[in-house]
Structure 1
Amino acid sequence: MSLYVAYVLVGLAIAMPVGAITVEMTKQGLKNGFMHGWAVGLGGMTIDVVLVFALYMGLASILAMPMIQLPMWLIGAGFLFLLGYDSIKNADQDITLAGEKVTKSIFASYFNGLLVAISPGNLVFWVNVFGVVLAKSYSQGQPTNFLIIAAGVLSGILLHDIGLLTIVSMTRKALNRKMIKTLTMLAGFLLIGFAGYFIYEFIQAIKVYR
């Protein structure tokens, strides 16, 4: 139990820095409320869970290969740029103020979370963090510890998402349409910034593997 609790705290710490998933969650939470923001988070966690078990089955060695990682940076950059551009272009679309009926599908928000999570940053994170944890667990003859640690980290991320979206949903009640539009555009620029960071990582990786 102490191992699980320790890694719940690790999960919270991991989720604190602003990333692409956090930006998309906040954006959807502001525009359409708690459930849409949480749907993005659940979409991201779906990929996380799949990756954890895939790494447990040996995917880490494949994802660590340069020929796999290099195109992933470019694909991820392209997707995040398009998502950011769409956020800016359609910043005034699909805004539902507190008390109004939401027309956007929950599944659409969930699907956005899935797509954002299939990014190089997310994949490389799981390879680096859980690859090390998995190796250590096996070296100690306790492979089941890996699953306990994974459950702890995922629980910490889930707690972070719920806490963040609770704050967002409360803040949303005090915002008007223009303010939500401005914040949505800011989220779009942040996503484009992440795309730029992925391109930077792609260039650095080429230099290393040249």
Structure 2
Amino acid sequence: MTLFLTYVLLGLSIALPVGTITVEMVKQGLKNGFMHGWAVGLGGMTIDVALIISLYFGLANLLTQPILQSIMWLIGAIFLCYIGIDSIKHANQGITMVGERTTKSWWASYRNGLLVAVSPGNLVFWVTVFGTVLASSFDNTEKGDFIVVGLGILTGILIHDIGLLIIVATSRRVMNKTAITWVSVIAGIVLIGFSLYFGYEFWRSVWN
């Protein structure tokens, strides 16, 4: 139980700083309500779960290869640039006020969560966090610890997401369409900023 709670706190602390998933969750939560923000979070957690399973079966060694890291920087830059531009371009569209029925597909929000989560930063985080556990993952006596660590971190992220979306849902009740539109524009600019950073890291990995 102590091991589990320790990694719940780690998952929570990792999720607290503003990142690409947080930005997209806030945007979708304000524009379309709690469930769409939650869909983004679930999309991100789907990638997290897939990475945990992949790391368990040896993906860590593959992810440390420089060429693959360069490719992931480029993919992350493209995805975030696409989502950022789309956020700005459609900032005043698809806004559902409290009491109105949203027209946006839940799966579209989930897909955005998936795309945003496919980033080098996310991959590096999982490789780093599970580095010490991976060393003993093939020891039958330690496999249970690996699962507990993974569940603990995912639980911490889940607590963060629910808490954040409760705040967003509450704020949404007192915001008008203009305010939500500007939040969407700012979110798009932030995502493009992350995209430029990823692009810089790709360029540096290729030319250095």
- 2:91 is aligned to 91
Matches within 5 A, 1:20-59: 20-59=20-59
What is the number of equivalent residue pairs in this alignment?
Answer: 208
Residues 84 and 192 in structure 2, CA contact (< 8 A), matched pair in contact too: yes
Q: Distance in 1 between matches of 2:200 and 2:158?
A: 30
TM, length-normalised to structure 2: 0.95
User: How far does residue 71 in structure 1 lie from its aligned partner after superposition?
Assistant: 1.2
Q: Which runs of 5+ in 1 are unaligned?
A: none
The residue type equivalent to 1:93 in the other structure is Q
Residues 134 and 143 in structure 1, CA contact (< 8 A), matched pair in contact too: no
Q: Distance in 2 between matches of 1:164 and 1:171?
A: 11
- 1:192 is aligned to 192
User: How far does residue 76 in structure 1 lie from its aligned partner after superposition?
Assistant: 0.8
Q: Distance in 1 between matches of 2:124 and 2:150?
A: 16
- 2:155 is aligned to 155
User: How far does residue 201 in structure 1 lie from its aligned partner after superposition?
Assistant: 1.9
The residue type equivalent to 1:183 in the other structure is V
Q: Distance in 2 between matches of 1:140 and 1:49?
A: 21
User: How far does residue 174 in structure 1 lie from its aligned partner after superposition?
Assistant: 0.5
Residues 40 and 111 in structure 2, CA contact (< 8 A), matched pair in contact too: yes
Matches within 5 A, 1:175-190: 175-190=175-190
Q: Distance in 2 between matches of 1:205 and 1:17?
A: 25
Q: Distance in 1 between matches of 2:8 and 2:204?
A: 33
Q: Distance in 1 between matches of 2:110 and 2:171?
A: 22
User: How far does residue 202 in structure 1 lie from its aligned partner after superposition?
Assistant: 1.9
Matches within 5 A, 1:98-177: 98-135=98-135, 142-177=142-177
178-187 vs 115-124, which deviates more? 115-124
- Per-residue CA deviation, residues 101-152 of structure 1 (Å, 9 max, x unaligned), is 1111111111111111112221122122223332266689523211101100
Q: Distance in 2 between matches of 1:139 and 1:65?
A: 25
Residue 78 of structure 2 is aligned to residue 78 of structure 1: yes
Aligned to 2:91, the other structure's residue is in SS state: coil
Q: Distance in 2 between matches of 1:185 and 1:179?
A: 10
Q: Distance in 2 between matches of 1:124 and 1:206?
A: 18
Aligned to 1:192, the other structure's residue is in SS state: helix
Aligned to 2:183, the other structure's residue is in SS state: helix
List 4+ stretches of structure 1 deviating above 6 A.
none
Residues 15 and 160 in structure 2, CA contact (< 8 A), matched pair in contact too: yes
The residue type equivalent to 2:39 in the other structure is A
Q: Which runs of 5+ in 2 are unaligned?
A: none
Q: Distance in 2 between matches of 1:5 and 1:204?
A: 38
Aligned to 2:132, the other structure's residue is in SS state: helix
The residue type equivalent to 2:164 in the other structure is L
Cα-Cα RMSD: 1.6
What is the percent sequence identity of the aligned residues?
60
TM, length-normalised to structure 1: 0.94
